[in-house]
Amino acid sequence: MSHRIEVTGDGSHTIQSQIFESTYHSRFGAIEESLTVFIKAGLQFFHAHQTEKVPIRILECGLGTGLNAWLSLCEAGDNQFSIRYSALELYPIPKDLVEQLNYPSIYSPDRMAQFQDIHNCSWAEWATISPFFELQKLHKDMLVWTPENLCVDLLYYDAFGPTSQPELWSESVLSKFVESLVQGGVFVTYCAKGEVRRTLQRLGLVVERLPGPPGKREILRGIKY
């Protein structure tokens, strides 16, 4: 797959995918988007409402640059709680591209090695990336993936948008991911399209529209009661 690095509004990189004709993050700011959608609306929210302090099980759909995974690792390290993170990715980005990404240098230089480890660890096996963060990368197609016995507290739905990949936003595909959520589980996505919101509601989530990062009025958070 052909890629090109771009600098976004907050100075952090994103990747332009030539195949999907889409960037991996908002052009207004990749780190800012990830922090707003996945860390604040997702991880911080779930952690604040957790009654029992056990490891938080996260599933990410579309590992991509590893930015969401690495920011989750930073959040867990800063606040001393544990995460077990599974991530699906069908088209891993090449190593030389990973090495050029500027996330550690502009956000947390001390965690440069962990950013590289996220990309260098083996697929399918659990890897300990930090004392607070275990990772299992799954080289799988979201379209055919099934939850099997996976129980998820927090779902980061970060597929390319419905214009680029409408099949990943269909009710049948989203239903598999919602099924993997435990009771009280949280689904977050940057995509606030009405059709996506209604689909998540039909699947039984209570969905809120939250203020988005720069350039995006709203994002979605769904809770499975």
Ligand X SMILES: C[S@@+](CC[C@H](N)C(=O)[O-])C[C@H]1O[C@@H](n2cnc3c(N)ncnc32)[C@H](O)[C@@H]1O
- Contact pattern for ligand X over residues 59 through 78, marking x by CB under 6 A: ---x-xx-xx----------
Give 83 or 159: the residue with its C-beta nearer to ligand X.
159
Asked if residue 100 lies in contact with residue 4, where contact means CB atoms within 8 angstroms, the answer is no
Least distance between ligand X and beta carbon 55 (Å): 21
| Candidates 75-83, 87-95, 107-115, 127-135; binding stretch for ligand X (CB under 6 A) | 87-95
Which pairing describes strands 13-17 and 205-211: parallel, antiparallel, or unpaired? unpaired
Least distance between ligand X and beta carbon 56 (Å): 17
Does 191 contact ligand X by CB under 6 A? no
Does 91 contact ligand X by CB under 6 A? yes
Phi, psi of 126 (to 5 degrees): -75, 135
Q: Which of 143, 151, 182, 206 binds ligand X (CB under 6 A)?
A: 143
| Candidates 40-48, 109-117, 128-136, 158-166; binding stretch for ligand X (CB under 6 A) | 158-166
- Identify the H or E element spanning 211: strand 205-211
Give 117 or 158: the residue with its C-beta nearer to ligand X.
158
Does 192 contact ligand X by CB under 6 A? no
Q: Which letter does DSSP use for residue 39 in this model? A: I
Handedness of CA 166, 172, 173, 174 (dihedral sign): positive
Does 88 contact ligand X by CB under 6 A? yes
Residue 161 in tokens: 């948008």
Q: What is the full DSSP assignment across 75-135? A: HHHHHT--EEEEEE-SSPPPHHHHHH--HHHHH-GGGHHHHHHHHHSPBSSEEEEETTEEE
Least distance between ligand X and beta carbon 8 (Å): 12
Q: Which of 21, 99, 141, 195 binds ligand X (CB under 6 A)?
A: 141
HEC secondary structure over 129-150: EECCEEEEEECCCCCCCCCCCC
Does 118 contact ligand X by CB under 6 A? no
| Candidates 138-146, 172-180, 199-207, 211-219; binding stretch for ligand X (CB under 6 A) | 138-146
List Cβ neighbours of 133 (8 Å cut-off, separation of 6 or more). 72, 73, 76, 77, 82, 83, 85, 114
Give 143 or 206: the residue with its C-beta nearer to ligand X.
143
Please work out the total of residues on this chain that contact ligand X, with binding judged by CB under 6 A. Answer: 17
- Distance between CA 158 and CA 43 in Å, rounded? 14
Chain residues in the site for ligand X (CB under 6 A) = 24, 62, 64-65, 67-68, 88-91, 141-143, 158-160, 165
